[in-house]
Structures are given as C-alpha cells and as structure tokens.
Structure 1
Amino acid sequence: MTELSFNRRHALKTLGLTAGAALLNLPASAEAGGEKPSPAFKYSLNMSTIRGQRLGFIKELEVASKAGFRSVEIWIDTFQQYLEQGGSATEAKKIISDLGIEIENAIGFAKWIVDDDATRKAGQEQLQREMEQLAKIGCKRVAAPPMGANSKDAALINLDVITERYITILEMGEKTGVMPILEMWGGSPNLKKISQVLYVVAASGRKDARLLMDAFHIFKGGSEPDSMAFVGKPAVEVFHINDYPAGIAPEKISEPDRIYPGDGIAPLRQMLQYIKDPGKPVVLSLEVFNPEYYKQDALLVAKTGLAKMKAVTAGV
C-alpha cells in the first residue's frame, strides 16, 4: 500500500487533474473544487482521518486548511500535547484565525456517564477542565460519548439516569460556552441506538441538548437509517460522515473498516436528506480511522475526503 500511495501521488503530479481524479475514483470536477458545495452543509475534517500520520496539533490544522476545509473537529489529547510542549491557547487561537478555519467540535473521552460515583465525579471534573481549555480557542462543542460504559460486559444504565447525568454536563457547558453533544457508539451497550440518544436529548427538556450521530455507528448499532426521520432538526448540528464496505456484519465491523463517503454501501444521501435543515447548515465531519489512509500523505487524504464529501452531497 505504501508503494501504491507513492504511485498515486506521483500520478496526480504528472498525469494532470483528470487522470489523477480517475485514479482516486473521483469526479474530475470534485477534485478541482468545481463541484458546487451544498449550501445545506459545512464540510469539516475530524482529525481522526489523519491521526495516524502523527502530525501534531498545528500541522493537522494546516493540512485541513490547505486541503480546503473551513471547519474541523480536533482531538483533545492532541491539543493538550501541544500545550504541554510549550504551546498556548492564545497562540493556537491566532493560528486558527489566520488559517481561516473554525473549531466546530472536540473529541474527548471523559467518563461522565458511569455508575461509580468517584469515577463519574473525576470524569465531570476532567470534562470541566477540557471545556475551559477549548473555550479559549473558540471551540463550540465537545463530544460526550458513553466512555467507561461502553465495554461489552458493561451494565445497562437506565436512560432516565443517563438523562440526569447529561443535564449535569449541559449545565457545565452553559457556564463555559462549550456545549456537550451526546454521542452514540454502535458498539457500546449504552447509547448504541438512535432511539436511545434521542430519548435522552428529548427527556432532558433542554433546548441546548444536541446529539451526535455517525453513519458507521448507525450501522454498527443496528439502527435503521429511517429512524433518523424522528430526530428533530434542531438536535443535529454535527454529523460524522463516512462509509463502510459490503460483506461485513454489524457485529463484526470495526473502526478501521471505515472508508471514504461514497466508496461503500451506506445510504448516505438518504441520511443527509433526513438531517438537512433549511434553517442552518449542518456540519458534516469526515471521521475515519483507516490504516491504509494513514500510510498515505495526509494532505492527499484530506483533499480526497473533501472531494468525496462534495460528490456525495451534490444535489442533496
């Protein structure tokens, strides 16, 4: 695959735009940036997509901007490594502004949901610190997945109890200005289905409650895509877009199986129709963890992902 990656990059440089786009299985207009972006969506790069290249916080932002993304999702641990190595939130905020990008959301793993009181309190305190850090760089949201309650043998937590715990972190978000969005994980016993995260968001009774869905996790968790029709438009501000190949059952599919949008069998255009909101653009964030992509040049991966996203959303 490494040799293929080299050949692919070489072909893009030497064969011209149309031939290069053909090698990538892209419409030439999309590779050129000629595919008209859908006004219904903002295109975002989740740094998981180039995480395997280990570029570091600032370089990831630079790659996203150079590829044409104006929105990104960062990973909190990468940001914290940058701070530990002498960077500052003030410096980062200026770089983000100069690059012309927005930090739409951050990916973290605080254990806010668990039953153990001490662990949950520590998780809430961790999340509080992370929210305060993220606020300094203008990040608007932070993902709130069922971390710590996601192992196969984890006990099921009553949805009303989860709702109470989600309200607690929503109140934290109200004070910090960084709102937690409830994330479904298809491989987790807790919050694995659209119906479960929708229940918690609705039962919270709060207008600022939001949920984070993901094409891969919808399949992995066994939710029907048509269930998305019951999710109110205000509840979705960010959607993780990706695809998955045919021939892998939900119980067998895993994170590395994620592929570019349009390269698999996910009913993405159907999903996008359900979440499209005439009142505001929805952030579509490319989130994959593909080890083959990690062997490639990060800028090529980001550009390819953006072109694939534009092709999938064209006309939606």
Structure 2
Amino acid sequence: MPHSVTRRQLMATLTTAAGASFLPASAAPQPAEPSLAPLATPPPFILCLNMSTIRGHKLGLVKELETASKAGFKSVEIWIDSLQEYLKSGGTTADLRKRLADLTIRVENAIGFAPWIVDDEAVRAKGVDQLKREMELLAQIGCKRVATPSVGAQAPDAPVIDLRKAAERYRAILEVGDQTGVVPQLEMWGFAKNLTKLSDVMYVAVESGHPSARLLLDIYHMFKGGSSIDSLPLIGKPAIEVFHVNDYPANLTRQAIGDADRVYPGDGVAPIQETLKRIKDPNKSIVLSLEVFNKNYYAQDALTVAKTSMEKMKKMIAGV
C-alpha cells in the first residue's frame, strides 16, 4: 500500500543516516588538503662589493654606497674608518640606516683593525674595547658581522702567538659579539706572521668552542699563505658566510705578490670556480665580496669600476 511503502522508505532512510553518524572519521568524506608550495631555494651566492675596490677614489661613505647601488649591488662591505669619518662630518647612524633602506643595500660585513689578538695585555684590552664600540656602531646600521684579522701581530717581526691563546682571545670577542649582535669573522691574512694559513684559523675557530665562530677567507690570501683549496671542504660549510673574491696574475709568485696586485675575477689564473664549488652550500647563500686594491682601477671612474666588478662577478659564478 502506498502508506506502508512510505513508512518502509522512511525507516530505510533513517537507518542509513544513523549508520553514517557512527562511521569512523577516516571513513567520512574529507576535504582535499591544500597543496604545499615548494620551499624557495636560496641563491647559492650573493654578490657584494667591498669598498676597498673603490676606496682609492676617496668618495666618502655615502657616495660609495650610491655608486655600488647604481652598479646593481644590493650588498656591500664597508670600512669602519669610513663610517667613523661619516659620523665625524655630522652624519648619524639613523640617517645612514635610512639611506641604506632607500638604496635597498645591506651592509654584510665591516672591515676593521682592532688589535684583539696580541700578547700585550694592555694593548689587547684597549683593542677589545675598541672592537666593542665598533660593533655597537655597526649594530645601529644593521650590520651583523665584522672582520677580525691578526692586527698588531701581522708584521714579520711579530712574536708567534700560541694558537690556544689565540682561541681563548677569539672566544672573548665572540662573547662581546653575543652582547652586541655583531659576530667577529676570523680573517686569514696570507702575508701575516699569525693566522696565516687555513689550518691556523680552522684550529682557532674550533678550539674557541663557541657556536658563532666563523671564518673570513680570501682567494688571494689562500694563495699568498700557501693554503690549498682542497682543504676547504674540511671546514664545514656553516663556518663560511662571507668569502672574499679576486684574482691574481700568473707572472707573480706567492712570495712576491702583494695586496695591490689583485685583479678582477677572470683576469688572472686563480682557481676561482673550483674554489666556489668547494664552498657552495645548498642550504644557504654565501656572500661573495670583491676585494681588490688596484691602483689602475683607482685611476678610472668609480662607477665604471663598480659596474665592471658586477659584470666580472656575474661571469665568475656562471655555471658554478
């Protein structure tokens, strides 16, 4: 009968609905999960201009930054004495930070010369205090790193510093870095009496026992000090954040070559691409900073030098 059929249909519907309410959640229809976008891979290298490259033009800090920006650089290494001259002439760290923002330029590192490593306790104490003040200035403009080579212990007649003591002293300035937010980068100078070789700075960084220990290496200084690029993979890739690039001519031995002999990448015989392949890190970007002191470049227009630097660096990293 129509009435009984209707009741049977109604009961079947209710039973089905009741059964569905007791199904486990996994059996119930689920909304489709949104697909996760792949994480962006960081570029392997960031191209940076060390102001040494146009330092001989004596532009002053602001014009140096403007020149770098016009050449296409978004990262620079400044010299602390140039920052101090800017402040002495009436500039402020707040104004400089705004100028950097307007130019969309980041200060990756600063070149300073505080004698933090020497054996003379009084000189070392003054050096550490100097470094602390410089770090505080750098922090105000957003710079998170400062170069710390063996200033005061680099001359040929300087005493050889025990590497364990050097490691203790490096840890001390790393702790100053903890306070200021600016990490001292242990810089190797191939011509220096102390911290001459890759093995020296590696030992000091490891022996410091500090998690922020970092090395600042250089194509030229690797050659000058007689360190092999084949040892670079032993460092551990987290230890390198900034690496100085340049080239050197074939007609000079490592004993005879000097700072002013450095040339643009690609204009000499340095194993640049092989070096970059050894330090390349798939998990982070490494700042490659062009550091030369070439008087022939200083005789040219500063913007021309900066633009040439960018062109040479782009070719340098192609295919690495």
CA shift, 1:39, in A, is 2.2
SS at match of 1:207: coil
Pairs within 5 Å for 1:220-299? 220-299=224-303
Partner of 2:189: 185
Q: 2-side partners of 1:181 and 1:242: how far apart?
A: 19
Which of 204, 208, 212 pairs up with 2:208? 204
Q: Equivalent residue for 1:132?
A: 136
Select 1:62's aligned residue among 57, 60, 66: 66
Q: Deviations over 1:275-306 (max 9, x none)?
A: 11111010000000000000001111011011
What secondary structure sits across from 2:47 in the alignment?
strand
1:8-87 matches, cutoff 5 A: 39-87=43-91
Deviation digits for residues 140-188 of structure 1, max 9, x if unmatched? 1000000000001111101110000000000001110111000000000
**Aligned partner letter, 1:115:** D
Q: Deviations over 1:45-82 (max 9, x none)?
A: 00000000000010000001110001000000001000
What are structure 2's unaligned runs of at least 5 residues?
1-41
Residue 161 (structure 1) aligns with: 165
Partner of 2:99: 95
Report the 3-state secondary structure (helix = DSSP H, G, I; strand = E; otherwise coil) of the residue aligned with 1:237: strand
Question: What letter matches 1:69 in structure 2?
Answer: F
Following superposition, the deviation at residue 228 of structure 1 comes to: 1.0
Q: Does residue 116 of structure 1 match 2:135?
A: no
TM-score, normalised with respect to structure 1: 0.87
CA RMSD of aligned residues (A): 0.8
Deviation at 1:251, TM superposition (A): 1.1
Give the partner amino acid of 2:97: K
Task: Select the structure with the greater relative contact order (CA < 8 A; seq sep ≥ 6).
Answer: 1
Distance (whole Å) between structure 2 residues aligned to residue 250 and residue 228 of structure 1: 19
- How many angstroms apart in 2 are the aligned matches of 1:256 and 1:281? 28
Instruction: Show the counterpart of 1:142.
Output: 146
Spell out the pairing of 1:294-305 with structure 2 (5 A cutoff).
294-305=298-309
Distance 1:153 1:228 in 2: 29
Q: Partner residue of 1:6?
A: none
Partner SS state of residue 121, structure 1: helix
Count the aligned residue pairs.
Answer: 279
| Structure 1 counterpart of 2:311 | 307
Q: Alignment partner of 2:192: what SS?
A: coil
What amino acid does structure 1 have at the position aligned with 2:312? K
Q: What are the Cα deviations for residues 253-287 of structure 1, in whole angstroms up to 9, with x where unaligned?
A: 00110000011010001110111111101000000
Amino acid at match of 2:66: E
Q: CA separation in 2, counterparts of 1:87 and 1:312?
A: 36
Percent identity of paired positions between Structure 1 and Structure 2: 59
Structure 2 residue aligned with 1:8: none
* Separation in structure 1 between the aligned mates of residue 309 and residue 231 of structure 2, nearest angstrom: 26
Provide the rounded CA distance (Å) in 2 between the counterparts of 1:119 and 1:201.
22
Alpha-carbon distance in 2 for matches of 1:296, 1:93: 29
Rounded to whole Å, the distance in 2 between the matches of 1:315 and 1:231 is 23
- State the distance in 2 between where 1:184 and 1:133 align: 24
Q: Structure 2 CA distance, aligned partners of 1:172 and 1:241?
A: 28
| C-alpha displacement of 1:122 | 0.6
* Aligned equivalents of 2:318, 2:208: Cα separation in 1: 35
Larger radius of gyration: 2
Q: 1:30 matched to which residue of 2?
A: none
SS in 1 for 2:63: helix
* Residue from 151, 156, 163 that aligns with 1:152: 156
The one of 219, 224, 232 equivalent to 2:223 is 219
By how many angstroms is 1:88 displaced? Answer: 0.3
For 1:192, the aligned partner's letter is T
The secondary structure found in structure 2 opposite 1:289 is coil
Distance in 2, matches of 1:204 and 1:273, equals: 27
Q: Could you tell me which residue of structure 2 aligns to residue 28 of structure 1?
A: none
